[in-house]
Amino acid sequence: MGQPTGFLEFSRTVPLDRQPRERVADFREFHSHLPEAIMREQGARCMDCGVPFCHTGKLIDGLTSGCPLHNLIPEWNDLIYRGRWHEAIDRLHRTNNFPEVTGRVCPAPCEGSCVLGINAPPVTIKVIECAIADRAFREGWVEASPPSFRTGKKVAVVGSGPAGLACAGELNRAGHAVTVFERADRVGGLMMYGIPAMKLDKGIVERRTRLLAEEGVQFVTSTEVGKNYPTEKLRQEFDAIALCGGSTVPRDLPVAGRALAGVYFAMEFLTANTKRLLDGERAGDGFISAKDKNVIVIGGGDTGTDCVGTSLRHGCKSLVQLELLPRPPDARADDNPWPQWPKIFRVDYAQEEAAEIFGKDPREFQVQTRRLLDDGAGHVRAIEVVGVRLVAPAAGPPKLEEVPGSGRTLPADLVLLAMGFVGPEPTGLLAELGVRLDGRGNVATDGSKQTSVPGVFAAGDMARGQSLVVWAIAEGRDAAIGIDRFLMGESVLE
């Protein structure tokens, strides 16, 4: 490092966001960038730690520690400190197909395992990554680079989320003819319709897919393989197939009143909102409005947070976010040491906004739903909940039990279920291909990401289960290596 004492001299600094009351008035991105001089100081805080844990990408106790993409973080931190931005984007692109996306939406497990973070605020890795990518596009450094040769092999990629696009990009780079099939009307999968525009502007996704198209990747939208495109035709026309359709079966809420009108899965709500933003009235009748409604969001993860932020931008009347688990501690617990992901209490953008609008954090912890109540006309009017606590029995895992006297009723005109996903859809394409599923219902793969059917590979949430965008990109890249080796006997992508 050019300034080995930078971590002692400079404090962690992050860009200022637009004020909550201002940003809830629109769906524009609310993050900004730091001035270049401060960015260089932030790069100097990377401490030349000798054994960097930031790019390890390991699972510890089921949570990600370090970057699954193995981004060369210390290298591009040093390049930013030295003002060598063009070289920095080259380093980023060696391991990450979409740094402009991960720099916005990744929870930054790299920062959770930063060595500096043992006893000081970690390096602003995510902020630096986003700044590198945005400057590279702004300066025109990111250009289409079609392969210099073609192998004559054809690969189908089913699904255009982060795993599918990363897989397609790498296979195209290796010279194969790649066609990406997407059942939605736009390319991008989760990045297009699962993440709201204020976190990830859709122009950023479209910009990257245009580059992939200029490099030779073919996109076929509004086409669901196994439904309006025969699975057997796919097998006959392509030399290999990559399944990257994601984990799309949402976890449901099995309580009385679930079938009432006004109760939706989170992705129904978020997808319809993005379509309305992109298409206006042409989006059709699927739009779900939270305006002037009492909104209950069930689920405390990122998707639940995005439902909170979107509901605020609609102008909801009230807002409560229910979480089954206890409130995390403010600092690492003794059983959660570095370099594990810090399981601590965080206030995300939407909770900050709700606190500004309604005067308090919308989250209520250790709350379980008993039932949904009818207004007499088939529409939800309230939700009945009860407090719960974790109890450790003499043998076996902890169990939830209700807290006596804690039952209550909350007004609800709109209930959004954001409790995660249980796996890919087992019927249709997967059943017709005959791929084996694992014990969790995901597509089973070997070390090369190949399924039980030769020539058929799987990556991302479809094979891994619900996870992070960085894992999806990493798995897409791994699948591309496996496919390249399957087709050619060896891989130029390793």
* Digit-coded pLDDT (tens) for 250-286: 999 999 999 999 999 999 999 999 999 999 877 677 8
Q: Residue range 320-327: average pLDDT?
A: 96
Distance of CA 350 to the CA centre of its chain: 16
Mention every residue, 6+ apart, whose C-beta is less than 8 A from residue 147.
Answer: 172, 173, 174, 175, 215, 216
Count of CB atoms situated within 10 Å of the CB of 8: 10
Query: Same structural domain for residues 182 and 42?
Result: no
The CATH number of whichever domain residue 308 belongs to comes to 3.50.50.60
Tell me whether residue 366 is in a domain. Answer: yes
Q: Which of 488, 470, 468 is nearest to 478 (CA)?
A: 470
Query: Same structural domain for residues 427 and 414?
Result: no
Percent of the chain with pLDDT strictly greater than 70: 100
Q: Rounded distance, CA 304 to CA 348, Å?
A: 11
Query: Same structural domain for residues 64 and 99?
Result: yes
Query: Same structural domain for residues 262 and 410?
Result: yes
Query: Same structural domain for residues 399 and 437?
Result: no
Query: Same structural domain for residues 184 and 270?
Result: no
Last residue of some domain: 358, 387, 419?
419
Query: Same structural domain for residues 87 and 212?
Result: no
Query: Same structural domain for residues 221 and 345?
Result: no
Q: Residue range 293-298: average pLDDT?
A: 98
H/E segment holding residue 322: strand 318-323
Q: Rounded distance, CA 80 to CA 295, Å?
A: 44
Count of residues for the chain?
A: 494
> Can you give the pLDDT at residue 377?
97
Query: Same structural domain for residues 32 and 126?
Result: yes
Query: Same structural domain for residues 440 and 412?
Result: no
Percent of the chain with pLDDT strictly greater than 90: 94
Domain tally for the chain? Answer: 3
Count of CB atoms situated within 10 Å of the CB of 208: 22
Take residue 463 and report the two structure tokens written for it. 């094979």
Tell me whether residue 1 is in a domain. Answer: no
Structural domain span for residue 92 = 6-138
Where is average pLDDT lowest: 191-195, 322-326, 390-394, 426-430?
390-394
Q: Rounded distance, CA 228 to CA 404, Å?
A: 53
Q: Greatest CA separation found in the chain?
A: 71
> Can you give the pLDDT at residue 3?
83
Q: Which residue has the tokens 């500004």?
A: 356
Sheet containing 154-158, strands listed edge to edge, beginning at the edge strand earlier in sequence? 218-220, 177-181, 154-158, 240-243, 456-458
Q: Residue range 381-401: average pLDDT?
A: 91
Half-sphere exposure of 159 (CA within 13 A, CB side): 30
Mean pLDDT of the chain: 96
Tell me whether residue 361 is in a domain. Answer: yes
Q: C-alpha distances in angstroms, 248 versus 161, 383, 442?
A: 12, 26, 11
Query: Same structural domain for residues 411 and 301?
Result: yes
Tell me whether residue 76 is in a domain. Answer: yes
Tell me whether residue 375 is in a domain. Answer: yes
Take residue 183 and report the two structure tokens written for it. 């059942």
Residue 27 pLDDT level (bands cut at 50, 70, 90): very high
Q: Which residue has the tokens 């309305």?
A: 276
Residue 397 pLDDT level (bands cut at 50, 70, 90): confident
Q: What are residue 266's phi and psi, to 5 degrees?
A: -55, -40
Last residue of some domain: 419, 449, 471?
419
Tell me whether residue 148 is in a domain. Answer: no
Take residue 27 and report the two structure tokens written for it. 């769906």
Distance of CA 151 to the CA centre of its chain: 33
What pairs with residue 229 in β-bridges?
225
> Can you give the pLDDT at residue 392?
85
Tell me whether residue 187 is in a domain. Answer: yes
Q: What is the pLDDT of residues 53-106, one digit of tens each?
A: 999 999 998 899 999 999 999 999 999 999 999 999 999 999 999 999 999 999
Count of CB atoms situated within 10 Å of the CB of 421: 18
The CATH number of whichever domain residue 66 belongs to comes to 1.10.1060.10
H/E segment holding residue 372: strand 367-374
Tell me whether residue 143 is in a domain. Answer: no
Query: Does residue 366 register a pLDDT over 80?
Result: yes
Q: What are residue 91's phi and psi, to 5 degrees?
A: -65, -40
Q: What is the pLDDT of residues 199-236, one digit of tens each?
A: 999 999 999 999 999 999 999 999 999 999 999 999 99
- What pTM was computed for the model? 0.96
Query: Same structural domain for residues 21 and 92?
Result: yes
Last residue of some domain: 112, 138, 164?
138
